[in-house]
Amino acid sequence: MIGPESEENDLNLTPYLSLKIGRALSPWLGSFLATIAIIWASGLLTEFGFNLITEQVICGVLGLAFPLIFINIPPNNKSRNKIPWYDSLAAIIGFSLGWYMFFRYPLLLDEFAYKPIETNIVGFFLVILTAESLRRTAGWSLLIILALFLLYGLFGDKVPGLLAGRALEINKFFPYLGIDTNALLGTPLIIIFTVVVIFIFLGQVLLRSGGSDFFTDLAAAIMGHSRGGSAKIAVVASGMFGSISGSAVSNVASTGVITIPLMRQGGYSPRVAGAIEAVASTGGQIMPPIMGAAAFLMAELADVLYQEVIIVAILPALLYYTSVFLQADLEAGKIGIKPIPAEQIPQILNVINAGWYFFMPFIILLTTLFWLNYPPETAALFGALSICLLGSLFKYNNKRLTPNILRICLQKTGEVSVDIIVIGAAAGLIIGVLEATGLSFGLTFMLVQVGEGNLLLLLLLTAVICIVLGMGMPTTAIYFLLAVLATQPMIDLGVEPLAAHLFVLYFGLMSMITPPVALAAFTAAKLANTNPMSTALSACQFGWPAFIVPFLFVLAPNLIMIGNWIDILIAFFTAIMGIWFTSAGIIGFLQTKLSPIQRILYVVGGLALLLPNQVFETNHAIEIAGAIICFASFTFEKSNKKR
């Protein structure tokens, strides 16, 4: 709260920017940023004869992102009643530099070598502002990683062994990183500006028009009548909305406010309620068609069509959510949780009749992508425009899109986007160092040498690296960093490229629920008012298939729809059964409470069923043995239940 002293300072010329002025500027900066992205995605600038370079427009966007960060995020992340002079200066420099580059960039790009002083100054400030913005938005962990890469860019020739590389000359270091199209202004930032920001806008419009309420009500209408219906509502609602939100933590914060109290009222313990919500929300990042924007990044980095990414991601995502769904059901059976009272369950026809128009963005998105072959940003723009129109004509739970709400959607899109824009800029800097120094080849060669041709060993090493590097980092940052560093060694050992990319995405995301820095689980624990670490451990239990399934689809591509349909269906069916029986063994309940021996038998038999045919030559025999163990245990348990 602003006190009398700060009110007086707002009226005087002071060495710091007025907090009131900063708060007044922020909505305009955010709205302008989102508007630029939407207009660029629409192609209207080209239609009206404005032939701008993408990197040139991105410079202007950075000129809006930097002041948004320095105005709104204090250096120590604590509340403040004024903006100090150094943040005011950084905001002004960031804005001025971005728009200076907007007008100057085409000339600097053409005459890069002939303006060393100008390019050094511009590059230096861009790198420094990006680094400090990264620290404020993503924390110290990602900044330390960036700093290590920048130091390598200067002293790579002094690193011994396999990681030795070329060092960049100091007079070319900042111009290359700040201005070259292979560094800060490279592919990651281009994808974020042209594609991801549009999907953030789509998510904001859906959220503020009542979309999250609709998905929760729809899940309640479908699942509320079954055992443990409150948890199943959380799984379905978080999966549907999490795919759009683009962030596991924000998904927990938005849907968990509703689902966690609902689960606790239904009979789940606070720890289990928080764990289920954390796992379900994290899975939204792997749920097609949007996958929290990872699908678009993956298509670009793997050099494949976006449609291909959606297809290969379908079965692993279904396995993930089926496992969470089954475990929620088994947990409910174990502790005797009944369905939600009928009076609390909305009628499905009433829900669909009131919110049918929320399906339209997804129908338009898929139609324009798969039938009309439009690029993702155009498809997302059409989807967003459809919900803008329909949301202004209809209302759900008294929520309707008015001009003022649409203005807030634009503002929030810009403010939310700055985090991911800065991460994209940092990822570009890392990629620039990797390419210029040859470190990418050195890292790949080192990992392959460590694996010594043993793919399983390489996969285990990569999984650990992904979880460790992903701790405390946003989803997009996790995938960007790991896709650059960890996919090529797997591809070199014969792994399908998309399987390699999905592998690092899955294990990077698992850091969201894996101690010691399990951001999604800790956020859910706060909402559930329970111990964060125990919630994270329970989340790992509910999310256990996500630690195994990536190994399976790398070793057996049937699970990413590569192969004939019979093998694909068999692999998927046996994986579902394997997850069901293994989960029963872990939880200790299937039809009745299980004895220790029954639990061991179900786990052993279930894991045997999980192994696809392509993993081992004798895998048919292993699967048959697993099926016999599970069927025999199931029959014995059923006979005991009758007695």
Which residues are bridge partners to 589 per DSSP? 593
Q: Which of 565, 584, 569, 579 is nearest to 609 (CA)?
A: 579
DSSP 604-639: HHHHHHHS-TTT-TTHHHHHHHHHHHHHHHHHHHHH
pLDDT at 186: 85
Which residues are bridge partners to 399 per DSSP? 396
Distance CA 465, CA 489 (A): 13
Sign of the alpha-carbon torsion through 70, 71, 76, 82 = positive
Distance CA 304, CA 141 (A): 31
409 Cβ contact partners less than 8 Å away, ≥ 6 residues apart: 201, 204, 205, 208, 401
Cβ-contact 6, 14 below 8 angstroms: no
Which residues are bridge partners to 17 per DSSP? 83
Q: What is the 3-state secondary structure (H, E, C) of 24-52?
A: HHHHHHHHHHHHHHHHHHHCHHHHCCCCC
Q: Which of 196, 173, 187, 68 is nearest to 127 (CA)?
A: 173
Distance CA 246, CA 237 (A): 15
Sign of the alpha-carbon torsion through 420, 422, 427, 428 = positive
Cβ-contact 312, 495 below 8 angstroms: no
Distance CA 558, CA 554 (A): 9
Distance CA 345, CA 229 (A): 10
Phi, psi of 506 (to 5 degrees): -60, -50
Q: How far apart are the first and last CA of the chain?
A: 67
90 Cβ contact partners less than 8 Å away, ≥ 6 residues apart: 66, 70, 129, 132
Distance CA 148, CA 614 (A): 40
Three-state secondary structure call for residue 176 = helix
Q: Which of 252, 249, 139, 242 is nearest to 199 (CA)?
A: 242
DSSP 423-470: HHHHHHHHHHHHHHHSHHHHHHHHHHHHHTT-HHHHHHHHHHHHHHHH
Q: Which of 166, 64, 50, 86 is nearest to 442 (CA)?
A: 166
> pTM value?
0.75
Distance CA 197, CA 37 (A): 7
pLDDT at 94: 94
pLDDT at 310: 85
Which of left, alpha, beta for 438 (phi over 0: left; psi -120 to 50: alpha)?
left
3-class SS shares of the chain: helix, strand, coil, % to 5: 80, 0, 20
Query: How far from the centroid of its chain's Cα atoms is residue 490's Cα?
Result: 22
Distance CA 562, CA 499 (A): 10
Distance CA 340, CA 259 (A): 13
Instruction: Count H helices and E strands in the chain, helices first.
Output: 30, 0
Distance CA 135, CA 124 (A): 17
Which residues are bridge partners to 83 per DSSP? 17
Give the residues of the chain that fall short of pLDDT 50: 1-15
Q: Which of 368, 360, 477 is nearest to 430 (CA)?
A: 477
Query: How far from the centroid of its chain's Cα atoms is residue 478's Cα?
Result: 8
Phi, psi of 40 (to 5 degrees): -65, -40
For residue 12, the 8-state DSSP code is: S
**DSSP H or E segment with residue 540:** helix 532-542
Cβ-contact 606, 578 below 8 angstroms: yes
Cα angle 591, 596, 600; round to 5: 85
What's the length of the chain? 643
